[in-house]
Structure 1
Amino acid sequence: MDIFEEHESEVRGYIRSFPTLFDKAIGSELFDKDGKRYVDFFAGAGTLNYGHNPEVAVEAQIQYLKDRRIAHGLDKATVAKQAFLTTFVEKILEPRGYNYKVQFTGPTGTNCTEAAMKLARQVKGRGNIVAFTNAYHGHTMGALSATGNEAYRDESYGARGAVSFMPFDGFLGDMDTIEVFRRYLEDKGSGLEKPAAVMLETVQGEGGINVASSEWLQKLAQLCKDHDMLLIIDDIQVGNGRTGKFFSFEEAGIKPDLVCLSKSIGGGNPMAVLLINPEVDAWSPGEHTGTFRGNSLAFVAAKELIDQYWSDDSLTLEVARKSKLIVAALEELKAEFPQFDCKVKGRGLVLGIQTNQPGLADKVSAKAFEKGLISETCGADSQVNKIFVALTIEDEILNEGLAIFKEAFREVAGEAKA
């Protein structure tokens, strides 16, 4: 590991949490250079919903390269893009009754959220965006302005521009935070500039696995209509089946104006997609651009994975079944350690357990790594242990990982209790 310590920037992060030299990966298993095996409960922070190196995607990409097909196309028309768009429309959009235009932004999630914010401001002719407490929308300057965590709001980020924050569902306990938002909009003395758009995650992954109810989302969608604001859903981490259905907002029955997708949409390849209500597709040609906005290998992988996993509802049913297994394991720990006021949080396969003991979650993650499990923490104070498995994880590996996690949690919590 000396080469990284000596030559890589201090900015490196996950290498500190998981200090080993990884080499190979398949499905939900990782192997370091010495062959040590790790169970993956991290899934690339939501990038690997279909696991590492899914077979159909790997084979399709290898063949594509062997055939010397076009690898870099900017936003030119290519056979690979055509095939992806055809599949995405037929398997994802049309069955759900969605009529979105598709924009390929730069290949990161944060570029996608920046594009959504830029377009909303252009369409409405207003500068302000409303985001929510504990939001996370990316790490470039515009996206950071809509991110709530104090750690990301240092002056050096330049992240203060034209974003106002409102309380997320549950942030004020039982208080209806949509009514709080409505009051700010309707009172001319509130100090809230009328927003162009409202942007949110339906489940705040990095913010601590905070779940917005369907009722709250429906009220928010209506509020946006009542006050001429666009609704932007950031489905970068919890879309692509993470909550069960392909989009995390489907159960609420709402239709956002703009939807941000990235991470797992490319099957492990860099790719980001902004879905745009045709009525607000106000871009001029080349107005939001990027050198790598047409990743051919991502198109190839994404098409194969959509064909494999979204031709029926089998994956959605699997997510629900596996979710119950994980929740049961976390509820077991909650019952065992009542003194830590544990809360089991999440939907589908974005789940976690929160404690009131500072530093406990980080220690659990470190202990789990020692035992061969990759898992991370989240929340403003890293107070939640996040269970983020591939949607395709085999039961045997899932149960093995849960056993390791429970063992690590019990050891750390037992020491804290003592």
Structure 2
Amino acid sequence: MTQPNEVPLQMRRNGFDPAEELARARDGEGVVRVETPWGLPGYLVCRQEDVRRVLADPARFSSALTPLRGAGALHPDELARMRAGQLIGLDPPEHTRLRRMLTSEFTQHRIRRLEPRIVEIVQTALDDLERAGRPADLMANFALPVPSLVICELLGVPYADRAGFQDRSAQLLDTSLSAEELTAVRREERAYLADLVARAQADPGQDLLGMLVREHADDLSTDELIGVAGQLLLAGHETTSNMLGLGILALLRHPDQLAVIREDPARVEPAVEELLRWLSISQSPPPRTTTTEVEIAGQVIPAGTLVICSLPAANRDSALVGDPDRLDVTREVAGHVAFGHGVHHCLGAPLARMEMRIAFPALLQRFPGLALAEPYEQVDFRVLSVVFGLNSLQVTW
């Protein structure tokens, strides 16, 4: 069994890069047996083609059959309430039913309507960062506030609550927490979300929660509303904030690449896709459980077995792009799995892309002399988090 502070293979990094042993697994067997943080043995899938195959086939690789990490002590009724509305833990048709209710709010057309407000939020965050003075923590003063405020306004969450939900989110993604600690955080977060949903049910606003209450009250249980709200809140700020922080760090380490975006913001779109691929901050989607015996890369995997996909390894597969370990923000990259693949492809991907397309050039143009204010070797990476990122990043300009 993986020890609490041992980094699982799929989460091991050497700086920005997948660890050498993870790259060897991809370039060698492609599928390797691992001990998982769930306390169960499993198989780790590393190649781009095989990862896409697993994620595209919920009939043979089930999300719903995978146990909730650290939930062994929960009463079945409480466990069922906690899993309700958790899209990433559901299979079709249940997953399809819930996702259909949300899809219209995350179309390109709807997201484009948010652009002026996101521009305002980014500019305000830049003003706050400048007022903070040099040196400043980019994570606390820019990378976290921007997506947090966006998702708060979209969902109808009071921005004043951000410190609490940011702290709980970080804990929920921390693989070093014991089962007891994780359960306590889940209960605390659920109590907060239950109050949020109760207020929306009593007085539905124009935000996403209000829309769900008004338009789908007969189709969604309260537990499902709580689950949907929690998943959107967690994903809406954690992934984008760490992409902003890590993306800037990566560009600072590659000044020629940074210059491309700073000098020509119109080139930011392919740069965002390349940073998504190269960084792959979502280490792996939740494990799937095989519903039948399957064969992947010549490895026979029995029914009822956990299968984990390594997104960083898959996105550095030479079958996807040439010279995959090189960051090149000018290249056109298609087919990466940074947002997952298949029915669980990230619902908020258009929103995350828009936030990055606005934030990266705005930051680099406001502070053309942006630089690290601490040695790279001392940068505080989040090593034991499901979402790879930074605890802080000291910068100057």
Shorter-chain TM-score tier: under 0.3
**What TM-score results when the alignment is normalised by the length of structure 2?**
0.28
More strand by share: 1
